[in-house]
């Protein structure tokens, strides 16, 4: 299994201890400890329960966006066996392409008590396949050549790094380094969820859209033939090829799905906060933290990891500078790696 | 004749001499060094006399920054080139080296300055202490990061190093008490700046008299000699280490971890050693950088300048080849600085495309360097000077 290391040999007691320490339950225990630590720290700082609850809710909302990115990362890793460091920048690309589409459309009135009009939804539907196609096109230009040459995975990661910086530099050139907003100076309605926790209706839309997309991906993977082929490729690429699975078509769909989710994630994140050329790079760390926590290559693990990291990111701001949110996700990842390198859903022990 | 010619010649001869010592082969050591000294002085004199002062000082600052980046690239070469460790958080070690050196060499601000500058401590130590401390602290950070991640697959180290680079940057951005938060830490002392100033009181009078014509703006001539010396020592030390049995094990770990382990080598320990050695060198590179630019803040160590550029340098020059690493650093630095001239020249064209484009010129070279990286990975993965087969020295 990916990331797994052989059990330490030696006396059986040591082995038993290692098994217990590295078990799934102890990783869950670690997460529980972290949650406890956060609650204790927050109560020491006199953070109110309502505020904590609000942060958890915000964390879940952020987790939805992270999940869209993390699904793409883990799918690409599963099928193509490469860490795509350009994924965050694909999210940025999606966010800015959405901005372009929206400026082309006439502005509509806000729909259904939300803070945006129909044009955002249209842009979302246009951007998703577009980013998917771009991701596939870039794969044709770069990663495919490396795959055909049977290059080491690390060379692909390096090419991904080159793509990440290349995509970002284009965003910089076209849009400049400043913030951008989908809507400036428009009212963003707020509703009270429960017990004094207030969220913007837009954020509910973001979570709803994220959950809908996740369900669609689930159906694709579990029900469709393409999804089955993707899972087969992830499990055993050689066997998949021998069984007559059209590898190139699976690669195409992997990038389409991964890219579309990245594009959607970027747009939804941009709707919640703002657009910046570095937004995707900053998301990359929590994305990979989520994927690694939930076992790299595992779709359900990525979902679990994404919501965990979203909550950690938000809740940690109760007692440390909010700027450290992504770093908090990183620290949790390092702790998880120490306990169980193969992640929550990994095999063994 | 311009009175600064002779002192500038002597200072410029130092990097040229060190370069020749590395490049020249054969002959007896005495002849080699004699030839190198004479040739270096002759070339330096020729450059100083023939080139206009402005052009030459541009060349000097180019060499200076190129050499600072060469030190960083050599550090990466130990990690990636020889051991195959995928560190994409060079900026972490670069930054921590720079800030450590700054805190060690600066004094605590007093009086009205204290209102503007906060720092955790200020020892007022000499430059070389800062340089060594930078290496030590960067090495300690590498131990900390390497522990949980080096035993795992390469991708995990990559993510962990990205994370540590972001974390270090966030800390230096947000912690005012540590190194003046988002504001730059200013006024780093420049080693031997007395040579191009009032004269150093610990040097004999005739030396001071010789360098007396230099003005403070000639300081890069002094610093380029210092940077070249550090680069030379790092280069020679690494060449020795790589040709030693230790270096052979590193390459064995890179090529086939299992085979190395089967031969009784502690793979994890060797990886850690290479990671720490590389980080120490990067930290020293950070120190060299900091004392040149004098004022540093977190923004200097973003993933583009702090990590990606150095990767392109190593990949272009040739990973697993120290000469390649140095050459790559100079080449990419030439492309990087040259591209800014090209973008300036293209200003009218860019303005014709869009009025916003000229001021976004810097990003054009950003794109150029990314394309260069992709080109290298796809078509020239071994670089300009590919790795050579080396036979380990058994004795000296």
In a domain, A317, yes or no: yes
How far away is chain A from the Cα of B271, in angstroms, using its nearest Cα?
16
Tell whether B18 and B76 lie within a shared domain.
no
B381 and A163: CB-CB below 8 Å?
no
pLDDT computed for residue B391 by the predictor: 63
Most distant pair of Cα atoms in chain A: their distance:
72
Burial readout B352-377 (b: 16 or more C-beta within 10 A, e: otherwise) = eeeeebbebbebbbbbbbbebbbebb
Which one has a higher pLDDT value, B181 or B79?
A: B79
In a domain, B391, yes or no: no
Tell whether B77 and B160 lie within a shared domain.
yes
Element (H, E) at B304: none
B163 and A334: CB-CB below 8 Å?
yes
pLDDT computed for residue A211 by the predictor: 92
CB nearest B88 (choices: A161, A289, A341)? A161
Chain A CB contacts of B370 below 8 Å: 162-163, 165-166, 169
Tell whether B140 and B265 lie within a shared domain.
yes
Angle at the Cα of B294 from the Cα atoms of B289 and B296, rounded to 5 degrees: 75
- Structurally, chain A folds into a number of domains equal to 1
Distance separating alpha carbons of residues A108 and A119, to the nearest angstrom: 7
A334 and B86: CB-CB below 8 Å?
no
Phi, psi of B131 (to 5 degrees): -60, -45
In a domain, B395, yes or no: no
Do the beta carbons of residue A284 and residue A88 sit within 8 Å?
yes
Distance set, CA B41 to CA B67, B211, B235, B288 (Å): 20, 16, 22, 25
B167 and A154: CB-CB below 8 Å?
no
What's the average model confidence in pLDDT over B298-312? 90
Tell whether B104 and B14 lie within a shared domain.
no
- The DSSP code for A277 is T
Do the beta carbons of residue A18 and residue A4 sit within 8 Å?
no
A9 touches chain B (CB under 8 A): no
In a domain, B186, yes or no: yes
Do the beta carbons of residue A326 and residue A313 sit within 8 Å?
yes
Give yes or no for residue B394 having a pLDDT over 60: no
Contacts of B293 (CB under 8 A, 6+ apart): B188, B300
In a domain, B199, yes or no: yes
Distance set, CA B303 to CA B13, B165, B210, B364 (Å): 34, 8, 43, 17
Most distant pair of Cα atoms in chain B: their distance:
68
Give yes or no for residue B317 having a pLDDT over 60: yes
Tell whether B231 and B314 lie within a shared domain.
yes
pLDDT digits (tens, 9 = 90+) for B96-106: 999 999 999 98
B377 and A170: CB-CB below 8 Å?
no
- CATH number of the domain residue A180 falls in: 1.10.3470
In a domain, A12, yes or no: no
pLDDT computed for residue A1 by the predictor: 40
- Structurally, chain B folds into a number of domains equal to 2
pLDDT computed for residue A3 by the predictor: 47
Tell whether B40 and B69 lie within a shared domain.
no
Tell whether B16 and B75 lie within a shared domain.
no
The residues with which B131 forms a beta bridge, in sequence order, are: none
In a domain, B263, yes or no: yes
Within the 133-152 window of chain A, which residues sit less than 8 Å (CB to CB) from chain B? 142, 145-146, 151
Tell whether B13 and B113 lie within a shared domain.
no
- The DSSP code for A9 is P
Give yes or no for residue B309 having a pLDDT over 90: yes
ipTM for this prediction = 0.87
CA A9 to chain centre: 36
Tell whether B76 and B117 lie within a shared domain.
yes
Would the CA dihedral through A301, A307, A313, A315 be positive or negative? negative
Residue B311 burial (CB count, 10 A): 26
Q: How confident is the model at residue B396 (pLDDT cuts 50, 70, 90)?
A: very low
pLDDT digits (tens, 9 = 90+) for B169-180: 999 988 888 888
Among B187, B191, B194, smallest CA distance to B108 is for: B187
Would the CA dihedral through A50, A53, A55, A57 be positive or negative? negative
**Residue B141: strand, helix, or coil:** helix
Give yes or no for residue B86 having a pLDDT over 80: yes
Alpha-carbon dihedral angle through residues A154, A160, A165, A171, given to the nearest 10 degrees: -170
Distance separating alpha carbons of residues B95 and A345, to the nearest angstrom: 36
* Domain range enclosing B30: 1-50
**Residue A32: strand, helix, or coil:** helix
- CB hemisphere CA count around A325 (13 angstroms): 20
B153 and A3: CB-CB below 8 Å?
yes
Q: How confident is the model at residue B48 (pLDDT cuts 50, 70, 90)?
A: confident
Tell whether B195 and B83 lie within a shared domain.
yes
A276, two tokens: 């910046």
Distance separating alpha carbons of residues A283 and A37, to the nearest angstrom: 24
How far away is chain A from the Cα of B110, in angstroms, using its nearest Cα?
28
Chain B CB contacts of A170 below 8 Å: 367
Tell whether B244 and B337 lie within a shared domain.
yes
In a domain, B384, yes or no: no
Give yes or no for residue B32 having a pLDDT over 50: yes
What's the average model confidence in pLDDT over B86-99? 94
Q: Between A and B, how many CB-CB pairs are < 8 A? A: 124
A12 touches chain B (CB under 8 A): no
- CATH number of the domain residue B197 falls in: 1.10.3470
Q: How confident is the model at residue B259 (pLDDT cuts 50, 70, 90)?
A: confident
Angle at the Cα of A48 from the Cα atoms of A43 and A50, rounded to 5 degrees: 130
Residue B380 burial (CB count, 10 A): 13
Mutating which of A22, A146, A147, A166 best tests the B interface, going by the most B Cβ atoms within 10 A? A166
Distance separating alpha carbons of residues A189 and A184, to the nearest angstrom: 14
pLDDT computed for residue A181 by the predictor: 86
Do the beta carbons of residue A333 and residue A348 sit within 8 Å?
no
pLDDT computed for residue A262 by the predictor: 95
Contacts of A164 (CB under 8 A, 6+ apart): A85, A86, A88, A89, A281, A284
Q: Name the average pLDDT for chain B.
A: 87
Element (H, E) at A219: helix A201-223
* Domain range enclosing A236: 50-339
Among A311, A312, A297, smallest CA distance to A344 is for: A297
A338 and B377: CB-CB below 8 Å?
no
Chain B CB contacts of A288 below 8 Å: 159, 162
Do the beta carbons of residue A120 and residue A182 sit within 8 Å?
yes
Distance set, CA B290 to CA A243, B106, B293, B329 (Å): 58, 12, 5, 18
Distance set, CA B197 to CA A27, B9, B188 (Å): 61, 17, 16
Tell whether B340 and B366 lie within a shared domain.
yes
pLDDT digits (tens, 9 = 90+) for B192-225: 888 887 778 888 888 888 888 888 888 888 999 9
The lowest-confidence range among A263-267, A343-347, B231-235, B326-330 is A343-347
Chain A CB contacts of B83 below 8 Å: none
For chain A, list residues with pLDDT below 70.
Answer: 1-11, 14-15, 347-349
Distance set, CA B313 to CA A311, B165, B307, B323 (Å): 39, 19, 10, 12
B159 and A3: CB-CB below 8 Å?
no
In a domain, A44, yes or no: no
Residue A5 burial (CB count, 10 A): 13
Distance separating alpha carbons of residues A109 and A347, to the nearest angstrom: 51
Do the beta carbons of residue A107 and residue A122 sit within 8 Å?
no
């Amino acid at each position: 299994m990916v990331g797994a290391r052989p059990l330490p040999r030696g006396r059986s007691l040591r082995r038993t201890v290692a098994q217990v320490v590295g078990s799934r339950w102890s990783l869950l225990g670690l997460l529980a400890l972290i949650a406890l630590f956060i609650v204790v720290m927050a109560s020491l700082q006199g953070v109110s329960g309502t505020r904590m609850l609000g942060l958890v809710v915000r964390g879940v909302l952020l987790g939805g966006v992270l999940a869209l990115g993390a699904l793409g990362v883990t799918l690409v890793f599963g099928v193509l066996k490469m860490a795509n460091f350009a994924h965050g920048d694909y999210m940025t690309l999606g966010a800015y392409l959405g901005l372009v589409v929206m400026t082309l459309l006439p502005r509509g009135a806000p729909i259904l008590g939300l803070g945006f009009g129909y044009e955002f939804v249209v842009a979302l539907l246009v951007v998703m396949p577009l980013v998917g196609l771009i991701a596939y096109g870039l794969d044709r230009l770069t990663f495919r050549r490396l795959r055909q040459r049977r290059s080491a995975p690390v060379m692909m990661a390096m090419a991904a790094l080159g793509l990440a910086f290349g995509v970002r530099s284009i965003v910089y050139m076209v849009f400049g380094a400043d913030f951008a907003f989908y809507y400036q100076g428009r009212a963003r309605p707020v509703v009270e969820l429960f017990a004094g926790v207030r969220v913007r209706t837009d954020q509910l839309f973001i979570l709803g859209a994220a959950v809908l997309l996740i369900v669609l991906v689930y159906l694709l993977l579990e029900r469709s033939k393409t999804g089955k082929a993707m899972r087969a490729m992830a499990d055993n690429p050689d066997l998949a090829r021998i069984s007559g699975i059209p590898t190139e078509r699976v690669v195409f769909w992997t990038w389409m799905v991964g890219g579309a989710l990245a594009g959607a994630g970027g747009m939804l994140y941009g709707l919640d906060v703002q657009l910046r050329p570095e937004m995707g790079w900053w998301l990359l760390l929590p994305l990979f933290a989520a994927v690694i926590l939930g076992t790299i290559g595992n779709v359900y693990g990525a979902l679990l990891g994404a919501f965990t990291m979203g909550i950690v990111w938000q809740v940690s701001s109760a007692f440390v500078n909010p700027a450290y949110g992504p770093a908090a996700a990183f620290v949790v990842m390092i702790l998880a790696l120490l306990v169980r390198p193969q992640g929550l859903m990994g095999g063994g022990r | 004749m311009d009175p600064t010619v002779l002192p500038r010649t002597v200072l410029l001869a130092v990097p040229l001499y060190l370069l020749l010592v590395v490049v020249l082969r054969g002959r007896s050591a005495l002849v080699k060094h004699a030839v190198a000294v004479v040739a270096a002085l002759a070339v330096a004199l020729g450059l100083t006399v023939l080139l206009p002062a402005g052009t030459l000082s541009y060349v000097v600052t180019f060499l200076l920054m190129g050499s600072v980046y060469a030190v960083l690239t050599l550090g990466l070469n130990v990690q990636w080139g020889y051991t195959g460790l995928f560190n994409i958080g060079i900026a972490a070690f670069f930054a921590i080296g720079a800030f450590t050196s700054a805190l060690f060499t600066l004094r605590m601000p007093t009086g009205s300055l204290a209102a503007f500058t906060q720092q955790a401590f200020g020892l007022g130590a000499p430059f070389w202490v800062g340089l060594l401390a930078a290496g030590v602290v960067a090495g300690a950070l590498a131990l900390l990061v390497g522990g949980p991640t080096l035993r795992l697959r390469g991708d995990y180290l990559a993510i962990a190093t990205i994370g540590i680079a972001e974390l270090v940057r966030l800390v230096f951005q947000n912690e005012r008490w540590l190194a003046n938060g988002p504001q730059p830490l200013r006024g780093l002392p420049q080693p031997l700046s007395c040579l191009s100033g009032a004269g150093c009181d610990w040097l004999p009078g005739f030396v001071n008299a010789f360098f007396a014509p230099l003005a403070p703006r000639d300081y890069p001539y002094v610093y380029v000699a210092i940077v070249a010396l550090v680069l030379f020592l790092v280069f020679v030390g690494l060449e020795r280490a790589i040709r030693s049995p230790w270096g052979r094990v590193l390459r064995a770990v890179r090529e086939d971890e299992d085979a190395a382990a089967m031969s009784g080598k502690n793979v994890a320990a060797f990886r850690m050693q290479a990671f720490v050695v590389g980080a120490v060198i990067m930290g020293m590179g950070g120190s060299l950088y900091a004392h040149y630019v004098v004022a540093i803040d977190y923004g200097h160590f973003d993933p583009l300048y702090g990590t990606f550029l150095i990767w392109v340098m190593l990949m272009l020059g040739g990973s697993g080849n120290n000469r390649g690493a140095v050459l790559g650093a100079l080449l990419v630095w030439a492309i990087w600085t040259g591209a800014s001239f090209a973008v300036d020249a293209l200003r009218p064209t860019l303005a014709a495309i869009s009025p916003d484009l000229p001021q976004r010129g810097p990003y054009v070279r950003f794109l150029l360097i990314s394309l260069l990286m992709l080109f290298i990975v796809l078509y020239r993965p071994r670089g300009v000077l590919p790795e050579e087969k080396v036979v380990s020295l058994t004795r000296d």
